[in-house]
Structure formats: structure tokens, C-alpha cells
A = this chain, B = another copy of it.
Amino acid sequence: MAASAGVSIAAASFALRDKPGVSPETRDRVLAVARELNYTVNVPARSLRTARYGAVGLYLPPGSTRLPYYTEFAFGVVDAADRLGLSVILLPHRGPGDASAPTAFVDGYVVVDATTEDAGIRAILDTGRPVVSGEHMVGGDDRVSASVVSDHASAMTRLLDHLSDAGARRIGAVLPPEGTAWSHDIARAYDAWIAGRGGLPISRRIAFVPTTDEVADAVTDVLATEYVDALVVVPSGSAAPALDAVARAGRRIGDDLLLAAYVDEPMHALLAPSVTSFDLEPRDFGAACVALLAEVWDADGLDDRVRVTQPRLVVRASTTRVRPT
């Protein structure tokens, strides 16, 4: 390598990683030659010696791959890793039977919305390498090194406050099924907020990724149960069908009903009316996971193993009154 074109061989190694033990002029010469030959360290060769692979494994939840959220998250991870000089290996999903480790040669893993039900997740935990989870892992496992979580409880509370500020008195909700940490948090926050005001919850649970009809039925049902003047629809993709069902029920958004979704989707800005929801900022979220993983590497015992992020409420027309009360 540059050593031949330069001077020594081990000296070059020192120069390139600018460690002490080499004269400034030698270092400069080495760096110059290295740049000229556009030399790149051979990562595999280095990892042979250092047992560091310069790579992080990324495990996205199987099945949910159609939600744009995860793609954004993935690129948040990739870009943050890139800035640290790391590669991201996108890990394959494992069927229930196949517990082989998705990939061995990484320095750590980032997983998101994980469950211990998942054989792939278990295989990852079994490697013993650092694992950072985005959102709490359902069924928790103390082998998770650290987590970045959104404060869904506080977010839901803020959303309900926002609706209340806009004049809502009776707020209904269409919720996802229990089974993930965040749906649990949201449901609890809703119940608590309602209870705190001496009210009774008016909610329905539908699927995680519901069909149009399922959403429509739930919305219609909630609207028919009791008079509500605001509605929060949480499951992904339910904003559009909810708007539809609301119109068919003869209610008018911004007039006698406010509507908010939960997870923001590009479509929400395009609907008529546009729909209020939370930007979970998946890119930043992914980047935060990588940053936390890097901290885990640096510090052995991380005292605060959980980082909390606050979803950003994007207020749009659907929660704005046309005529002030």
C-alpha cells in the first residue's frame, strides 16, 4: 500500500489513524500519498485484527414493510451510520422455524417495533452483541442494550388537549389492538385523559392495518353510540376512510366534528380537509438509534438506557374550526 510509495509500513498505519508515534512530516507524506492513490483501508482486513466490522444490522418488523414510516426510519439509520463511517446491513426476516442468526458480522443491531415473539429478534439477542431498539420491545428483554422511545402517552395527551382547546367536549377514539407497547400507551393515555375529566371513554379497537370497511364501521359506530364532537383515529391508513364515513354520517369536519389521525402520512396533507396528526420524524428517530448504539459502544455501562423523543403535532384543517364556537 502507501507504505511502498511512502516510507515505512507500520508508520503508515499510525499516520492514517493519526495516532502518536509518527513525525508530522512523515504523517503528511503518508496522507498525501494515500489521497493520491485514493487508498481506502480494507475493512475486512482490519476487522480480522480488531474484531470490529464497521457495520450495524438493521431489523425491520416483518410484514409492516408497506408503511412508509419504516423506510424513512431505515434511511435515518443509514445516513447516521454513514456519517460514522459504518455500513448498514438490512437483515432478512426469519420464519418461525429458522432461528439462524440473520448476520453475524456486525458490531451491533438496530431493531424497531420488535417483539420477543419474533424468531429473528430472538436470534439477534442471542448473538450477545449490543442491540438498540426503536420503541420498547414488546415482552421486554434485558439483553436490549438501550432504547429510543417516543413519548406516546404525552403525545396523546397533547393531542386531546389540542382538541379540547379547539372546543371539543366529547372525544371518541378508534384504536389499534393491544399487543404493541405504543398502542398500549396510547389507549391508556386516552382512558386516563377522559377519566381525568370525569368522562367515559368512547372507543373501538380495529386492526393494526385496517381495511376501509373496518375503519368506516368503527367510525360510524362511535358516531352512533353517543354524541361526540371530536374523533381520534389511530391505526395507520385510517384517515381517508374515516373522513368518508364521517361525511356519510352527515357530520361536517371543522363544523360539528374535529378529526385527528395519529401517525402522520404524506397523504394527510393532501386530503380534503387535510388531517392533523403526529410527525414521528422517523428519520431522526432512526438516526437517534444509531447515535445511541454508538454511545453503547463507547461507554460500557450506560446509565440512562432509554432516550425519549416527543412526536411533533402537525395541526391541519381537520382540527380547526371553520366558525369559532
Return chain B residues, CB-CB under 8 Å to A102: 82
Query: Does A40 sit within 8 A of B, measured CB to CB?
Result: yes
Bound-state CA distance A105–B86 (Å) is 12
Do B270 and A241 have beta carbons less than 8 Å apart? yes
Q: How many angstroms from the CA of A19 to the CA of B288 in the assembled complex?
A: 46
Task: Find the B residue at minimum CB distance from A80.
Answer: B92
Asked whether A66 lies within 8 Å of B74 as measured between CB atoms, the reply is no
A contact residues, total (Cβ < 8 Å): 46
Q: A228 an interface residue at 8 Å Cβ cutoff?
A: no
Residue A254, interface by CB 8 Å:
no
- Tell me which of A41-49, A148-156, A313-321 binds B: A41-49
CB contacts (< 8 Å) of A75 on chain B: these are 65, 90, 92-93
| Top 7 A-B pairs, shortest CB-CB distance | A44-B44, A82-B92, A212-B270, A66-B68, A44-B47, A90-B90, A65-B71
Bound Cα distance A96, B70 (Å): 25
Residues in B whose Cβ lies below 8 Å from that of A119: none
Task: Please provide the chain A residues from 237 to 272 with a CB less than 8 Å away from any CB of chain B in the complex.
Answer: 237, 240-241, 244, 266-267, 270-272
**Per-residue interface assignment for chain A, residues 106 to 130, with 1 indicating a CB less than 8 Å from any chain B CB and 0 otherwise:** 0000000000000000000000000
Q: Give the residue of B40, B48, B72, B103 whose beta carbon is less than 8 angstroms from that of A104.
A: B40
The reply to whether the CB of A53 lies closer than 8 angstroms to some CB of chain B is: yes
5 extra A-B contacts, CB within 8 A, seeds A88-B90, A237-B270? A44-B44, A48-B48, A78-B91, A87-B89, A241-B270
Q: How far is the CB of A322 from chain B (nearest CB, A)?
A: 19
User: Which residues 48-107 of A have a CB within 8 angstroms of B?
Assistant: 48, 53, 55, 58, 65-68, 70-72, 74-75, 78-79, 81-82, 87-93, 102-105
Give the distance in Å from the alpha carbon of A53 to the alpha carbon of B241 in the complex: 48
- In the complex, chain B residues whose CB is within 8 Å of the CB of A53: 44
Residues of B within 8 A of A87 (CB): 89, 103, 105
Quick one: closest B residue to A87, CB to CB? B89
Q: Is A8 an interface residue (CB 8 A)?
A: no
Residues of chain B lying within 8 A (CB to CB) of residue A103: 87
A211: Cβ under 8 A from any B Cβ: yes
With CB as the reference atom, state the residue of chain B lying closest to A89. B87
Within the complex, the shortest CB–CB distance from A221 to chain B, in Å, comes to: 18
Contact A67 B68 (CB under 8 A): yes
The distance in angstroms between the C-alpha atoms of A42 and B75, with both chains bound, is 28
State whether B212 touches A272 (Cβ < 8 A): yes
- The minimal Cβ–Cβ distance linking A188 to chain B, given in whole angstroms, is 29
Chain B's nearest CB lies how many Å from the CB of A42? 7
Given the complex of chains A and B, what is the CA–CA distance between A104 and B89 in angstroms?
Answer: 14
Q: Hey, which chain B residues are within 8 Å of A43, CB to CB? A: 44, 104-105
